[in-house]
Structure 1
């Protein structure tokens, strides 16, 4: 019988042991290793070549998103399933940009976790229900709604859209893979072009015209 090889990366011992217990009792799944940091997750993934890495986001040292990007840059066939308590837009977007195939929350039940692992292993994308609805809403919210600001470039419209979503400069930098200095520059350009003096005024003007 074909066994799905899974690496579990999470720095919380009790939660990690709970997940291991679930996976070890699941048919067709073999836990090949466990990591407690992003660095260890990368090392073990490259060494053990699992089918799926179950990846937490917040870990000591290298975080799960950076670890995901490093693993995917080496072995694109290793699928990453993020299992975390964070469901903010920036975390979801940056995880997917890094190469994660799925994103589920730690309050998911055992069956959902096992099903999600099998889904990403088969090449499907999987999200927890509330995360999925937010991603669909985000993805389908067109940048073109800011076409009434013709002086803004496409990238400036992207930044303004994320500002209107409530993301901070650091969150926007992660979502768009830009430096925080570059994002800060874009915000400055936006304020000048919209003829406002603050971020709040820009957001208010954007929402008033969207």
Structure 2
């Protein structure tokens, strides 16, 4: 049984090139082509392909929006982003929306074909550069979480009071400690959170709180 594929791509030449190469394979077939988002949004649920090759920046909307709106209607369809965008925001918004793969348009057709087979079999194919970005993002988050966990209870209390806008003297009075002790706690907070100033420390604190 062949893998059924829909292509959502407003660049006609690339859309047609994908279709031609895919249809040349014995194990897959393009059953629909869409050149704008609204047409794809309206018709994709009726054909429910196994895999959708989705461009991010369509002329009338973002491919991310289409996935967000159709994901529940099409639980058996796997979406692969195929785009020229490599920025973190679009990558993570795509993955959060429900895309199971993310390919850069410069990839070879062999890579694209193997990615279709991979996602159909339950994999999560990504271009090498995208996979590196994802890993670095999680490494960075783990480092930040570790730093926050290293704070003592008193340091967390001082950081919370800083985030409320209290001055060192006000914190010292509230906690019945000296200003020098407050400064020492603040220095430890900066070191453990890998920040250089109060604003960065408060931003990280608010991030963990949320």
For 1:22, the equivalent position in structure 2 comes to 21
**Structure 2 residue ranges without an equivalent (≥5):** 164-196, 205-210
The correspondence of residues 18-167 of structure 1 with structure 2, limited to 5 A, is: 18-141=17-140, 142=142, 143-147=144-148, 150=156, 151=159
| Matched length | 159
Q: Secondary structure at the match of 2:91?
A: helix
Question: Displacement, 1:145?
Answer: 4.8
Residue 163 of structure 1 is matched in structure 2 by none
Large movers: runs of 4+ above 3 Å: 148-152
Quote the Cα distance in structure 1 between the aligned partners of 2:8 and 2:107.
Answer: 17
What TM-score do the two structures reach when normalised by structure 1? 0.70
Shift of 1:195: 4.1
Cα displacement (A) at 1:123 = 1.4
SS at match of 2:86: coil
Output one character per residue of 1:80-125: Cα deviation in whole Å (capped at 9) or x when no partner: 0000000111111000000000000100101100010111111111
C-alpha distance after superposition, 1:141-176 (max 9, x if no partner): 223155158336xxx9xxxxxxxxxxxxxxxxxxxx
